[in-house]
Structure 1
Amino acid sequence: MSTYLCVIVMEVLSKILAKRIENSHSFKFHWKYDKINLSHLCFADDLIMLCHGSLSSALVLKAALDEFSLLSGLHANHAKNNIFISDLSSTISHQLINLFGYTRKLFYLRPLVRPLIQYLISNGSSTFLWFDNWHLDGPLLSKWSTRVVYDSGLPIYAAVSSIVHGDSWSWPTAMSIDLLEIRSRMPTYNPNSSVDDSVRWLPSSSGTYSASFALASLRTPQPIVPWFKLVWFPKNILRMSFFLWLAIRGRLSTRDRILKYDHRAITTCVLCNSHLQSYAHLFFECLFSRAIWTQLLNIGGNPWNGLCWNAFTDWASTYWGGNSPTIVANKFCLGVAVYHIWRERNCQIFESTQKTTSVVARFIIDTIRCQLSFIN
């Protein structure tokens, strides 16, 4: 779209928005821009739309977008657009997300992460007095109401620097019991006006952020699954281990799974053309995959025990949990075999190409040999 045409199109959208807002009795502007009645910003091909965090206000914006789409044929691309929601209840948040057809992403983690971040005050200029976690009791407004802000005589968006004087704390005269309690529980250290504030990541003993500490802090601890060492072990091939992980968890799209949401789907195994394609069949009841697996086991001197997929992974989790050279070779064999059998299945479905069992087995053997030589 040319620059001039883009300007004309955005002007049409602006007129539609202005008309919809003017005719609405329920629309409220974003609290930060209600004095100037700002509803949207446009720069080049970027558009930001703003409103109060209420369903009635969002409905006005949605109606304007729908009218614009009807006139122009242009539609919002959900893959490139985002909706930002702050300090709303989960009910309202879900209503807004569903209204515009978006999916909720990582912003829901913010309330979980905030308590894990602590601000160490020096000059106090970069830390919010009422909202940030710098006080011994945490964010002040999480424990006390906004009445304490009024009693202090300080703005609600005041920085901690407003109570710092030189190298000491300097609160206004206490006008309430709440303020007296806040003052009595101040940090034991003194501020330093010549140094900027710093941030400490509480889950880490060093105070430095790390992804591992963040993950451990946010997720619910779960016991280690028995097949953990079968899939994840030193010097593993990450791509192969990832596919083995998917297979053990039942997350590969075998045709029996596709059948659950598409009753017209072809269910026959593409490798042998004789049975329903399921995990138990594909690994390794299928004549094609069993021939490959048997060749691999014969090379390693391991007879095939004929177990079904779930029983075999349980058995392997018990007996292949170590890291001896033989055990590692067996684990490589399983992961690489699952990967290449699944890849051959995809090639036959999507590329209409077909390899013999001996060719696929040779690919697997070469991959294992190459990885083992790299380890040695």
Structure 2
Amino acid sequence: MGSVWDRFGVRIVYDSVLGIDAKVSEIVEGTTWRWPFPSSWELMDLIDSTPSTFLPTGESDDVSWCPVANGKFIIQSTWNSLRQHFDPVNWSKLIWGPHNIPKVSFVVWMAILGRLNTGDMLKIFGVTQSAECAFCQHPCEDHNHLFFECPFSKRVWSCIKGTINVDWPSIHWNDLIQLIDKSVRGKSLGNIITKLAFTCTVYQLWIARNNRVFSKDMVLEQVVIKYGILALGDYPNTMLKPAAADVRNESSQIVGTWFIGKQDSECVPYNLRVEYSVYGALFFE
């Protein structure tokens, strides 16, 4: 039933000479009310205003979860009651959803928010004295430079865009996110592959950059391209792999280029196959 304080207020508790922690059950006896002596007008009004049909049931108290209408506890309601609520961003489906790779989505999400520890951020935090780009030694490595303006990244993107037959313009990072999100909406196989090609490339560029910064592993752009394609090529074997007949009947250039539905190394285009062992992964020739 809860506390008397919460139900009736501080004045009633004071006038009834009940303790602050008193429960409603202390003024209940079976199926009737056991009101304290009416020592004030407020207490008398409460007693008089209580409908005669409003009686205790005499049953045991039940625990009720207030955030939901049915009173049943679920974790989702707890999260929704604790978190701040904001309008969904228009690019959310670009990185979240059933056809995305969680670890890739997380890195791309951080990149879109500008929260990755790029050179300019590390300099602001006082971690390093230089914000130099790990790929081209440009004096300021921010998100836009690292992923799109750096010559190293441009060469990677040039190959990826040619492979999936798209022509994304050279615009600012935030504007490109909006453009790509609009162009890959829908559940067609081509849109899914294009979306994954973008997110996997961003992820692999970030991994290659970190390896240069922290491990001094100067991986060539050709290897970044091949590993990104291999990572994407493995993914259709689980979530995107259609029936063989559907693949044979698909006329999209994307499907023909990426060899959707084939196993393991066969997902890598023939013109990009060499043998490499990078980041613990093997590239086939």
What's the TM-score, normalizing by structure 1? 0.57
- Say if 2:217 is the partner of 1:353: yes
Of 58, 61, 65, the residue aligned with 1:192 is: 58
Matches within 5 A, 1:1-376: 121=1, 127-131=2-6, 135=7, 140=8, 144-145=9-10, 147-183=11-47, 184=49, 188=54, 190-193=56-59, 195=60, 197-262=61-126, 265-375=129-239, 376=241
* Structure 1 residues 185 and 320, CA gap change in structure 2 (3 angstroms): farther
Q: Indicate conservation of the 8 Å contact 1:294/1:304, yes or no.
A: no
In the aligned structure 1, how far is the partner of 2:182 from the partner of 2:50? 55
Decide whether aligned partners of structure 1 residues 281 and 240 sit closer, same or farther in structure 2, where only a CA change above 3 A counts. Answer: same
> Secondary structure at 1:259's aligned position in 2?
helix
Structure 1, unaligned stretches of length 5 or more? 1-120, 122-126
SS in 2 for 1:201: coil
Cα deviation digits, residues 68-119 of structure 1 (max 9, x gap): xxxxxxxxxxxxxxxxxxxxxxxxxxxxxxxxxxxxxxxxxxxxxxxxxxxx
Is the alpha carbon distance of 1:152 and 1:224 closer, same or farther for their aligned partners in structure 2, counting shifts above 3 Å?
same
Aligned residues: 238
Instruction: From the superposition, tell whether residues 179 and 238 of structure 1 become closer, same or farther in structure 2 (CA, over 3 Å).
Output: farther
After superposition, the Cα gap between the structure-2 partners of 1:327 and 1:181, relative to the gap in structure 1 and judged at 3 Å, is farther
State, as a whole percentage, how many aligned pairs show the same letter.
30
- The residue type equivalent to 2:178 in the other structure is D
> What is the CA deviation profile of residues 192-237 of structure 1, one whole-angstrom value per residue up to 9, with x for unaligned ones?
34x3x22222332332223333344445543221211112122311
Query: RMSD value over aligned CA atoms?
Result: 2.5
Work out the CA distance in 2 between the residues paired with 1:148 and 1:205: 28
Output the CA distance in 2 between the equivalents of 1:188 and 1:340.
67
Deviations 1:161-188 (A, max 9, x none): 2112113332213222333454446894
Shift of 1:315: 0.8
TM-score by length of 2: 0.74
Q: What is the CA–CA distance in structure 1 between the aligned matches of 2:54 and 2:228, rounded to whole Å?
A: 64
Distance 2:229 2:206 in 1: 16
